[in-house]
C-alpha cells in the first residue's frame, strides 16, 4: 500500500517550524469483475492507469472471475468488496434466497456486447438452427445465459444449454466440437471471426426484450455498505469520472484497452462501437420489472419479490 510522505516545512512567519502529518493511507478496495477483457470490465483498470483512483486516495485491486455466481460468491464470502458486471437475474435470485447483498450500480444496459458463435464449417448459421443442439454460456444466472434464453425463445427453438465457463474455455469446446455454439463478449475472438475460423450466429443486440434493460449490475455486501459506505461513495464518484475519461479520451483509452487485450488498435476501435456511452451509465438500473419476469421465466425464482424486497435490493451509490 502506497503512502505519500510529506517533509517538514519551515513557516516563514515567526520562524516557527511545523511538521505535516503523514498522509492517510489509501483505502483499499477489492473488485470481483466478471470476465477480463470486455470494455465494461476494464473501466476500473482504465481509471487506475489514468491515475483517477490514486488521486481519490483509493487503492483499487481488480480480480477477474468467470462471471455470475462466481462473482456473487466472491462478495458474500468476503473475498471482494464489490462484485461487478453480474447478470441482474442472478442477483435477484441470490437476494431473494437471503444473500446479504445490494445492487449498488448499473453495469451494462442492453445486450449488444455479447455474441454467440459456431465453427466456420458448422451448419448452424443462426439461433433458428439450434433446435436440439448445444449452446454454451458462462454460469447459470449470468448475462450470457439470460441472453441465450431470450434469443432461443425469440427464435422458437429448444437447444440444450451448457454451462461452459469463461470465454477461453468456451472457445476451446466449440473448436473441438464439444459444443455447437459458444458465447463470447466483445472483443474476445473477433480476430477469429475476421480470419473466418468461427462465425457469429447470434448477437445480444438481437434480443429485442433486453434492449433497454439493465442486464448486468454491480453489488456490495450489506456489511460493506454499513461499515465502509463513504469509501464506496468515493469509489463510484471516481468510477463515474473513469467512464467520462474513457469516452472523452477514446484514443488513449482504446490504446490501453488494446494493450491489455493484446490486439491491434484498429480492432480495439471496432469494439467501442458495441458500447454506446448510454449503455455503460452507472445509474439508473433500468427495466428491473423485466428482469424479475426473466428470473421467473428462467425459474431462478419461484415468486416475484415483494414490494418491500424490490425496494430493499437497491442501495445505489453512483451520483445520479
All domains in the chain, ordered by first residue: 27-110+220-312 (3.40.190.10), 114-210 (3.40.190.10)
pLDDT of residue 52: 98
Q: pLDDT digit string (tens) for 93-135? A: 999 999 999 999 999 999 888 999 999 999 999 999 999 999 9
With beta carbons less than 8 A apart as the criterion, state whether 112 and 216 touch: no
273 pLDDT higher than 90: no
Average pLDDT over residues 249-257: 95
SS3 10: strand
pLDDT for 140 equals: 81
Predicted confidence at residue 14, as pLDDT, reads: 43
137-154 pLDDT, tens digit per residue, is: 988 877 799 899 999 999
Contact 288, 307 (CB under 8 A): no
Percent pLDDT > 70 in the chain is 92
- Predicted confidence (pLDDT) at residue 248 exceeds the cutoff of 90: yes
All cell numbers assigned to 306: 415483494
Q: Name the pTM for this structure.
A: 0.77
Helix (H, G, I), strand (E, B), or coil: what is residue 121? Answer: coil
Determine the pLDDT at residue 23.
62
Q: pLDDT by residue (tens digit) across 276-306?
A: 899 999 999 999 999 999 899 888 999 999 9
pLDDT at 11 > cutoff 60: no
pLDDT at 267: 86
| Average of per-residue pLDDT across 83-99 | 95
pLDDT at position 111 is 85
| DSSP H helical ranges for 262-302 | 265-272, 288-297
Which of 163, 205, 210 lies closest to 186, judged by CA? 205
Which residues have CB under 8 Å from 211's CB, separation 6+?
Answer: 110, 111, 205
Mean pLDDT of all residues belonging to the chain:
90
Q: Which residue in this structure is represented by grid cell 436440439?
A: 132
Find the length of the chain: 320
Amino acid at each position: 500500500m502506497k503512502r505519500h510522505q510529506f517533509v517538514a516545512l519551515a513557516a516563514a512567519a515567526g520562524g516557527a517550524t511545523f511538521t505535516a502529518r503523514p498522509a492517510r493511507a489509501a483505502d483499499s478496495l477489492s473488485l470481483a469483475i466478471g470476465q477480463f477483457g470486455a470494455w465494461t470490465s476494464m473501466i476500473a483498470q482504465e481509471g487506475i492507469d489514468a491515475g483517477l483512483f490514486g488521486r481519490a486516495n483509493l487503492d483499487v485491486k481488480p480480480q477477474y472471475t468467470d462471471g455470475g455466481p462466481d462473482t456473487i460468491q466472491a462478495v458474500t464470502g468476503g473475498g471482494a468488496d464489490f462484485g461487478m458486471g453480474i447478470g441482474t437475474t442472478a442477483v435477484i435470485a441470490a437476494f431473494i434466497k437471503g444473500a446479504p447483498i445490494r445492487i449498488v450500480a448499473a453495469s451494462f444496459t442492453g445486450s449488444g456486447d455479447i455474441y454467440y458463435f459456431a465453427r466456420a464449417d458448422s451448419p448452424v448459421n443462426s439461433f433458428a438452427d439450434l433446435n436440439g443442439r448445444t449452446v454454451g454460456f458462462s454460469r447459470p444466472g449470468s448475462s450470457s445465459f439470460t441472453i441465450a434464453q431470450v434469443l432461443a425463445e425469440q427464435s422458437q427453438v429448444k437447444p440444450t444449454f451448457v454451462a461452459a465457463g469463461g470465454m477461453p474455455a468456451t472457445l476451446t469446446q466449440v473448436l473441438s466440437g464439444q459444443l455447437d455454439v459458444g458465447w463470447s463478449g466483445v472483443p474476445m475472438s473477433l480476430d477469429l471471426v475476421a480470419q473466418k475460423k468461427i462465425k457469429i450466429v447470434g448477437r445480444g443486440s438481437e434480443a429485442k426484450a433486453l434492449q433497454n434493460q439493465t442486464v448486468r449490475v454491480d453489488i456490495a455486501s450489506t456489511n460493506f455498505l454499513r461499515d465502509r459506505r463513504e469509501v464506496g461513495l468515493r469509489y463510484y464518484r471516481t468510477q463515474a469520472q473513469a467512464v467520462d475519461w474513457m469516452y472523452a479520451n477514446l484514443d488513449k483509452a482504446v490504446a490501453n484497452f488494446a494493450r491489455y487485450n493484446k490486439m491491434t488498435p484498429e480492432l480495439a476501435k471496432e469494439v467501442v462501437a458495441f458500447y454506446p456511452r448510454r449503455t455503460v451509465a452507472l445509474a439508473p438500473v433500468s427495466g428491473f420489472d423485466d428482469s424479475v419476469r426473466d428470473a421467473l421465466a428462467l425459474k431462478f425464482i419461484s415468486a416475484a419479490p415483494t414490494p418491500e424486497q424490490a425496494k430493499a435490493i437497491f442501495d445505489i451509490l453512483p451520483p445520479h
